[in-house]
Structure 1
Amino acid sequence: MQAQIFYCSYGVIEDNNQVYANAQMLTDFADEDGRVGCQVGKVSIDTDNNNAVAKRLAGELQRAKGAVFVELIVGSKAKGGNVVSVVKDFKVINPQSKVSV
């Protein structure tokens, strides 16, 4: 799945020592009656190996100084009794891509 990622966050929640990682991306452009444009969506990132994937993604964002276009490798996990998508890895499509959001 290709995505434009413009934000990444990771760390440990102090209250319960839970490790977290997520990113924000733009959805595909929609042009329908009553709604036009892209929306912001949040996607979970795999927290294995001390947030290795999120740290790499944050580094790509820092280098680009803006959004990056990536090919996401997505898996799934159980969360609150539901199955949710989680980013397992990614590949930068064009490291020269820079989009100011």
Structure 2
Amino acid sequence: MAIAALSSGITGLNASERALGNSAHAIANIGTQGFQPTHATFQENAPAGSGVSISFQAQQLQATDAPSGTNLATETTNSLIYKAQFDLSAKVIQAADQNLGTLINTKA
């Protein structure tokens, strides 16, 4: 059980890191004419509880977006969400590591 939680936490870290990088890329190109930002979508892996995966789709342009199509408010909010997801995934890994260590120490 602890190993499955460890694996799930690692996929969460990877997905959050990729999403945060995507958001940072969009913010860095906010003034780039013709830049088309992408939106991160998270999916639960099968079987349930085995982690998450991430995919990216082109965003629909809004009238309030910058010339590049990047909405700074949306990207800033997403960055905060992705950071929180990263932190929570790290806590899952930490808890799994502690549980696995306790299990190994109990058996020894």
State the TM-score bracket (shorter-chain normalisation). Answer: 0.3 to 0.5
Larger Rg: 2
Higher helix share: 2
Higher relative contact order (CA 8 A, sep 6+): 2
Bigger proportion of residues as strand: 1
